[in-house]
Amino acid sequence: MDASVTTQRQEPDARADTLVASYERAGYTRVAPALLQPAEPFLDLSGEDIRRRMYLTTTPDGGEFCLRPDLTIPVSRDYLASGLAGKPAGFCYLGPVFRHRSDAPAEFLQAGIESFGRSDKAAADAEMLSLGLEATAHYGLATPDIQIGDVALFASLVAGLDLPAAWKRRLIKDFNRKANLAQDLDRLVLGGNNARPEYQGVLAALAGSDPKGAHALVTDLLSIAGINAIGGRSIGEIADRFLEQSALGASARLPRDVRRLIERFLAIQGDPDGATAALRALTSEANMTSALVPALDQFESRTGFLEARGVDLKKVRFSTAFGRGFDYYTGLVFELTDPKRTGDPLVAGGRYDGLLTRLGASDPTPAVGFAVWIERLGVYGGGS
């Protein structure tokens, strides 16, 4: 039988309760979302890798539900359903989550905070990191390793590059997926129409023609063939990408200078102040200052708030390449770890400004938060 399923329920210990009580005193409302959640938001937002580990069930009328694999989405949904939606509000929680894990029980405890609707993003980011540090300190680990990244920096760099849209999509996707995009850069190849001998005549004929005219031609050809939107993609979409691929031309590789720039960008790491200086130098050299100024200003402002909160910046390891497997992060990402033990995250979190819109919010709503792995912190002696 499945070794990860155990009937022993892990009750929150007193230490975890005191931790969450301190979050309540800091102004966060304690919430307890339902254990059983509609599966759809998790499937849509978290990807098939999470689905593999989810406990899914089906209702007699076909609805799909799951045991909550995390609390960010449930807390967000409850917030959106409440009268507070769109307004600043902060929540804290403590309770079980469920994920299939071959080497550990499927049911385990997470505490955490989700903060919605605050427009002072840099200050909110810094507060999350420092509340996360309170969690490890509460359990007796005063100085964990602090790893931070900022997804907005890479997104701004890519947005500012002079590259076809197909390349920008690809770079952002791969950044979200891998912690180490740099090593893959020279292997990156786009599947281009140029590899298709049977299309080359048509593409050559279309090359250099008025894009609108070419689009109309391809659209018409598909319509003549009696093909309408099939499989959810419209004819216009197919025509757009067909022409976009042909415009990529003979070289399906990333231009060398762009590759070099990205590699140098992703190699930048160190303490936040040093990294900011390096980033400013690189972007001014590449004539990309204007593309990165907003993200860099945000980053510096956040660093200032961290310092004001007493976070020792020398202990903070920043890396431009530090991304997260969840693609809904949009800004700060952070992890607190203890490399002297397993190195697994003890606290992990970040900013996810796009999530609430994708869950149905009518207006863009800033959101930032973190989760605490209670069992992992349980091995430390403090907090009694």
Partner 1 sequence: MSSPLVLAVPAKGRLQENAEAFFARAGLTLIKPRGARDYRGAISGLDGIEVAYLSAAEITSQLAAGAVHLGVTGEDLVREMIPDTEKRVVLIEGLGFGFANVVVAVPQAWIDVRTMADVDDVATAFRQHHDRKMRVATKYINLTRDFLSAHGVIDYRIIESSGATEGAPAAGTAEMIVDITTTGATLAANGLKVVEDGTILRSQANLVAARGAAWGTQERDLARVVLDRVAAQARARAFREVRARFAAGTDMLVESAKRKFAIEAPFGGPTSSGMLILHCPPDQVYALTSFLRENGAEAVAVAELGYVFSRDNPLYAKLEAGL
- Nearer to partner 1 by Cβ, of 38 and 88: the residue is 38
Paired strand residues for 116: 89, 367
Options 100, 177, 253, 317; binder of partner 1; rule CB under 8 A: 177
Contact 366, 353 (CB under 8 A): yes
The binder of partner 1 chosen from 15, 22, 38, 47 (CB under 8 A) = 47
Site for partner 1 in 320-339 (CB under 8 A): 327
Does residue 166 bind partner 1 (CB under 8 A)? Answer: yes
Give the Å distances, CA to CA, from 215 to 81, 104, 186: 43, 54, 32
Question: Considering Cα of 76, then 135, then 378, then 31, what sign does the dihedral take?
Answer: negative
For residue 215, state whether it binds partner 1 (rule: CB under 8 A).
no
By CB under 8 A, tell whether 44 contacts partner 1: yes
| Options 9, 25, 52, 314; binder of partner 1; rule CB under 8 A | 52
Choose the stretch contacting partner 1; rule: CB under 8 A; options: 25-33, 165-173, 203-211, 270-278. Answer: 165-173
Burial, 142: exposed, middle or buried (Cβ in 10 Å; 0-12, 13-18, 19+)? exposed
- Shortest approach of partner 1 to residue 294 CB, angstroms? 21
Position 83 contacts partner 1 (CB under 8 A): no
* 1, 224, 225, 250: which one binds partner 1 (CB under 8 A): 225
101 binds partner 1 (CB under 8 A): no
Minimum separation from the CB atom of position 169 to partner 1 (A)? 5
* Cβ-based nearer residue to partner 1, 46 or 72: 46
Q: Which stretch binds partner 1 (CB under 8 A): 44-52, 141-149, 289-297, 373-381?
A: 44-52
Which one of residues 197, 232, 310, 339 is an interface residue with partner 1 (CB under 8 A)? 232
Question: Which residue's CB is nearer to partner 1, number 229 or number 277?
Answer: 229
Considering only residues 94, 235, 261, 356, which one is a binding residue for partner 1 as defined by CB under 8 A? 235
Exposed, middle or buried by CB within 10 Å (0-12, 13-18, 19+), for 271? middle
Q: Which is nearer to partner 1, 50 or 84 (CB)?
A: 50
For the packed helices 151-160 and 256-266, what is the interaxial angle rounded to 10 degrees?
160
- Provide, rounded to whole angstroms, the least separation between the CB of residue 318 and partner 1: 25
Q: Which is nearer to partner 1, 44 or 186 (CB)?
A: 44
Rounded to a whole number of angstroms, the minimum distance from the CB of residue 101 to partner 1 is 14
Piece in contact with partner 1 (CB under 8 A), picked from 105-113, 150-158, 233-241, 375-383: 233-241
Q: What is the smallest separation between the CB atom of 217 and partner 1, expressed in angstroms?
A: 12
Q: Catalog residues that contact partner 1 under the rule CB under 8 A.
A: 43-44, 47-49, 51-52, 166, 169-170, 173-174, 176-177, 189-191, 193, 195-196, 199, 218, 222, 225, 227, 230-233, 235, 237-238, 241-242, 245, 327, 358
